[in-house]
Structure 1
Amino acid sequence: MTSEALPGVSLTFPPLGSGAEPLRTDVAAFLGRLHRGPVGAPVRVESWNDVVGTFGPPDGACATPYALRGFFENGGRTAWVLRVSGPAATARARWTVGPIGGFPATRYQVVASSPGAWANGGHVEIRYQASTVAGLPTVSVRVTMPGEAPEAFPGLPPGEVADRLAASRFIRPIPDGPPPPDGEPGPISMSWDLTLAGGTESAPTSGEYEDAVAVQAELPEPALVALPDLGTDLSGSAHTDVVLGLLRSVGPLHDRLAVLDVPPRLSSVDEAVDWVGSLTGTGDSRLLGCAAVYHPALRTPDGHGLRTVPASGHVLGVIARLDGERGAHHTPANAVVLEAVDLADAFPEPQQVRLFDAGIDLVRCTRGRGLMVWGGRTLSADPRTRYIAHRRLVHLLVRAIRRVAGPLVFDVNSLELRLTLVRAITSVLLSAFRAGALAGARPEQAFRVVCDDTNNPPEQDPGQLVCEIEVAPAVPMEFIRLRLVLGQDRGLEVIEA
């Protein structure tokens, strides 16, 4: 919320675009480690300032903040962020108020707003004044955390300190003692200087990452997913299992793409190719069509030096930028990467060919143009699921079709319902055709929608309605076939035939 105030006037309004928009295909989800902030709870951010306000400035300990900065610097507009952490304790300090009237309690626990070691050494200065010019007692609080801008809360009524400090980015006072006795005179003024301690944190395990993967699958808005710290936190089969679990969670949704990084501990081309082979060895083209790998990592400015950052965040920003400029059906390649000055590794051409043949998309440095995204393929070898542009066209169509078909799930299966469904889906496909996403000179050459007795015979369950869609992408390839099943007992199901 944003507020502005003048004498006698107070305006409060939400920031523009703060509501979720499931039709968008440029919204990203980032799962990884951050300096502070809620653990396991998704937070929607719309700028780098939002990231810093909620999760703190980058501290060099993890990659996700730098990936988020690269996302926004490259044109990203909206992201969902899930902080992933292992077992962690919250820093705290005891505040003994004593028998001062007006306070709800004689003791408080002042705890950090989120778990982790980030708040250790933080100072909380509290000043109590029994009377002021207005005649009422007040409390002033100043909070200073290492590496962060201080916060100040002047003139708080004693009885509202805990409620008012709920707006703090750093602390939460929790009553931890009995109320003060009635009628006992208190001091004219008091001061307390508290230092927070006891915060701990640990690297997330595969279990914490699996929980975060499950949470992002429930979010309707993200169309892009990245895990920038995964390759540092996990290795071997644990890393592979989390990646495959991510693909199994997004595969049935048909509405999002996972952009992966080669784990940073794999320094050679042979190791990178072997790692990709551990994923492609599943042979499941539907699953592999949900993921793309970009390599190598990037070198980005960080204070007075350069930092190596996984490429996924910057690539997601490029995809989001091109989504707005061209549309989701265009290949996100041959585009300049901003907020990066070099590649972490420079591969000679034969090694680039090996990486490309293994299914890895490259970020390359080209003379006169700088760093560029070079390649737009998924990990799938199947032509039907190989190209990112085609997959993202499916994601866009599925999102739009869900919007028009979802409200019809509980309607009675009838001729009127079939006509309504066909009309609504046709309007979606006509919009895609006019935007240049589909092939053909006329709409009938670009798509076909069938919802009649041929796929809904009389002997079929009357509580189920089937609608089949064929779409021809603008770039020549086989038709994309989608099958919609509306069932009153299971809602709307989208199946890619």
Structure 2
Amino acid sequence: MAGEALPGVCLTSAPRGAGAEPLRTDVAAFLGRFRRGPVGVPVRVEGWNEAVGVFGPPQGPPGGRVPRDGAFATPYALRGFFENGGRTAWVVRVSGPAGTARARWAAGALDGLPAAAYRVTATTPGTWANGGRVAIRYQASTVAGPPTVSVRIAVPGEPPEAFPGLPLPEAADRLAASRLVRLVPDGPPPPPGRPGPISASWELTLTGGTGSAPTRGAYEDAVAAQAELPEPALVAMPDLGTDLAGDAHTDVVLALLRSVAPLHDRLAVLDVPPRLSSADEVVGWARSLAEADDGRLLGCAAAYHPALRTPDGNGLRTVPASGHVLGVIARLDGERGAHHTPANAVVLEAVDLAADLPGPQQERLFDAGIDLVRCTRGRGLVVWGGRTLSADPRARHVAHRRLVHLLVRAVRRAAGPLVFDVNSPELRLTLVRAVTSVLLSAFRTGALAGARPEQAFRVVCDDTNNPPEQDPGRLVCEIEVAPAVPMEFIRLRLVLGQDRGLEVIEA
């Protein structure tokens, strides 16, 4: 956009690019219900205002716990993410079968209008646009210019929009800038030669929008969509516990973990289903996930409890903890690095807990692997735990897992361009140098143990793991890393193959 100019000087500004950055480990993915927005399509947003522009403002009476249309949990969790220091999120709106609100505009013979009738439709499905008013005013050509239409849109709960003086041939295209409606031809061209009115007005009301709770299939589609995104390193589904129960809820959680585990580059933060009110029920839920685990899934999942009470207008609203916790993790990522634990970090923009858990219940939940959010004197709400749901000591700590995620992302970036090179001593040396550079950077930031680099990591890519009789199209590189905390070694195995790309295996 051109700015104000001085003689010989032209000032211009351009928006910052919004390309994905796969090496970042502070980007979150939110899968859940929203007031409006595209269904099942991942959308990248940078900041709460941008999220509201795409998915609409959260709505609902303060104090409500059970989400209703327009008062779902995910928007509030997403807002908590940004309020706690998150900068970038991918959002996938999940919805059941839904219809789109619409109205018919019988325009008639207007000079320059391509069609005699139009459908005015809401931009996305759902009940959010029902009752919306669309005012259209036509003005024939005058000495001031050609015929125009002016459109004003008022949808409950949304800022009104106005589009004055639209040239008739371009009216539908110009309204494509609206966040609320679209104009679609719905009839033949007007008869030629028939004179139109000097001016005319129409008042239309949008109706017919429908919505329903998401099915298990809708959530599984959203899970598959996030798995295709290279950028997110954190994932949450704040509405899942309300939308699905029993086996359906467990199946979706397991589907998420099965999509995340092979990637070795992201952490799922789970919310305890809100219907579980006692410590026994929560422990049983955690145990059911452990029983369904095949030994590798729960290392990429952490659960935080209880829900939070957050300001909402003049009252408070109960919000699942996952969004705020993801914001805390993202904030610490920027301040100290991905290897830093979220335990003992302060939660911002929340004022109370939804449940007051006695000490014995807290101990039971802790023993079951549930991370707590606690209210402490002098500090407010604090994340009280940084463990995954896994019982395996090598996969128990969130900080440990997130260090693995950072290393895997960095190693992929370094080794990815080499997958088509010929297996040779030169390729092995290039790979070792690239991986060593990544690990040296981690060592300098304090993420690794040891006083010297050779105490912190080891990279092996030679004849010991690439014997002469091995397939020449396959190259193996083994990495051992000592994280600063805890002290167990991380072991990664890289396999480069000309026919299958780069594979990362965690030993």
In the superposition, the TM-score normalised over structure 2's length comes to 0.95
Displacement of 1:4? 6.3
Task: Find the aligned partners of 2:341 and 2:258 in 1 and give their Cα distance.
Answer: 24
Displacement of 1:454? 1.1
Tell me, yes or no, if the aligned pair for 2:400 and 2:486 is still in contact at 8 Å: no
**Residues 146-187 of structure 1, C-alpha deviations (whole Å, 9 max, x = no match):** 011100111111111111111100001111111123333222
Displacement of 1:11? 5.0
Tell me, yes or no, if the aligned pair for 2:111 and 2:140 is still in contact at 8 Å: no
Q: Which residue of 1 aligns with 2:322?
A: 312
Letter in 2 for 1:47: G
Letter in 2 for 1:188: I
Q: Which residue of 2 aligns with 1:439?
A: 449
Letter in 2 for 1:187: P
Structure 1: unaligned runs, 5 residues or longer: none
**Residues 344-363 of structure 1, C-alpha deviations (whole Å, 9 max, x = no match):** 01111111000000000000
Tell me, yes or no, if the aligned pair for 2:27 and 2:232 is still in contact at 8 Å: yes
Q: Which residue of 1 aligns with 2:275?
A: 265
Deviates more, 1:412-421 or 1:277-286: 277-286
Letter in 2 for 1:442: R
Q: Which residue of 2 aligns with 1:494?
A: 504
Q: Which residue of 2 aligns with 1:39?
A: 39
Q: Which residue of 2 aligns with 1:53?
A: 53
Please give the residue correspondences for 1:60-209 in structure 2 after superposition, counting only pairs within 5 Å: 60=60, 61-209=71-219
Task: Find the aligned partners of 2:43 and 2:353 in 1 and give their Cα distance.
Answer: 30
Tell me, yes or no, if the aligned pair for 2:440 and 2:453 is still in contact at 8 Å: yes
Task: Find the aligned partners of 2:483 and 2:457 in 1 and give their Cα distance.
Answer: 9
Q: Which residue of 2 aligns with 1:247?
A: 257
Tell me, yes or no, if the aligned pair for 1:115 and 1:200 is still in contact at 8 Å: yes
SS of 2:393's equivalent? coil
Please give the residue correspondences for 1:212-291 in structure 2 after superposition, counting only pairs within 5 Å: 212-291=222-301
1:293 matched to 2:293? The reply is: no
Of the candidates 456, 469, 478, which is equivalent to residue 459 of structure 1? 469
SS of 2:404's equivalent? helix
1:23 matched to 2:33? The reply is: no
SS of 2:92's equivalent? strand
Q: Which residue of 2 aligns with 1:13?
A: 14
Displacement of 1:12? 6.0
Tell me, yes or no, if the aligned pair for 2:24 and 2:231 is still in contact at 8 Å: yes
1:340 matched to 2:340? The reply is: no
Tell me, yes or no, if the aligned pair for 1:165 and 1:172 is still in contact at 8 Å: yes
RMSD: 1.5
Task: Find the aligned partners of 2:415 and 2:139 in 1 and give their Cα distance.
Answer: 62
Task: Find the aligned partners of 1:471 and 1:189 in 2 and give their Cα distance.
Answer: 76
Tell me, yes or no, if the aligned pair for 1:45 and 1:78 is still in contact at 8 Å: yes
Task: Find the aligned partners of 1:296 and 1:340 in 2 and give their Cα distance.
Answer: 12
1:390 matched to 2:400? The reply is: yes
Using a 3 Å threshold, how does the CA distance of structure 1 residues 132 and 386 change in structure 2: closer, same or farther?
Answer: farther
Please give the residue correspondences for 1:316-465 in structure 2 after superposition, counting only pairs within 5 Å: 316-465=326-475
Letter in 1 for 2:28: A
Q: Which residue of 1 aligns with 2:66?
A: none
Task: Find the aligned partners of 2:186 and 2:12 in 1 and give their Cα distance.
Answer: 36
Task: Find the aligned partners of 2:293 and 2:94 in 1 and give their Cα distance.
Answer: 30
Letter in 2 for 1:401: V
Letter in 2 for 1:485: V
In the superposition, the TM-score normalised over structure 1's length comes to 0.97
Using a 3 Å threshold, how does the CA distance of structure 1 residues 6 and 163 change in structure 2: closer, same or farther?
Answer: farther
Task: Find the aligned partners of 2:459 and 2:143 in 1 and give their Cα distance.
Answer: 75
SS of 1:336's equivalent? coil
Task: Find the aligned partners of 2:13 and 2:221 in 1 and give their Cα distance.
Answer: 36
Tell me, yes or no, if the aligned pair for 1:117 and 1:201 is still in contact at 8 Å: yes
Displacement of 1:284? 3.2
Task: Find the aligned partners of 2:451 and 2:478 in 1 and give their Cα distance.
Answer: 22
Tell me, yes or no, if the aligned pair for 1:289 and 1:379 is still in contact at 8 Å: yes
Deviates more, 1:99-108 or 1:349-358: 99-108
Letter in 2 for 1:352: Q
Displacement of 1:101? 2.4
Using a 3 Å threshold, how does the CA distance of structure 1 residues 239 and 4 change in structure 2: closer, same or farther?
Answer: farther
Letter in 1 for 2:199: S
Displacement of 1:129? 1.1
Using a 3 Å threshold, how does the CA distance of structure 1 residues 283 and 156 change in structure 2: closer, same or farther?
Answer: closer
Tell me, yes or no, if the aligned pair for 2:449 and 2:487 is still in contact at 8 Å: no
SS of 2:296's equivalent? helix
Using a 3 Å threshold, how does the CA distance of structure 1 residues 273 and 133 change in structure 2: closer, same or farther?
Answer: farther
Letter in 2 for 1:415: P
**Residues 405-460 of structure 1, C-alpha deviations (whole Å, 9 max, x = no match):** 11111111111111111111111111000011111111111111111111111111
Task: Find the aligned partners of 2:193 and 2:424 in 1 and give their Cα distance.
Answer: 75
Tell me, yes or no, if the aligned pair for 1:384 and 1:477 is still in contact at 8 Å: no
Tell me, yes or no, if the aligned pair for 1:4 and 1:12 is still in contact at 8 Å: yes
**Residues 199-218 of structure 1, C-alpha deviations (whole Å, 9 max, x = no match):** 00000011000000000000
Displacement of 1:137? 1.4
Structure 2: unaligned runs, 5 residues or longer: 61-70
Q: How many residues align?
A: 494
Deviates more, 1:222-231 or 1:172-181: 172-181
Displacement of 1:282? 2.9
Task: Find the aligned partners of 2:366 and 2:142 in 1 and give their Cα distance.
Answer: 72
Task: Find the aligned partners of 1:349 and 1:40 in 2 and give their Cα distance.
Answer: 42
Tell me, yes or no, if the aligned pair for 1:101 and 1:182 is still in contact at 8 Å: no
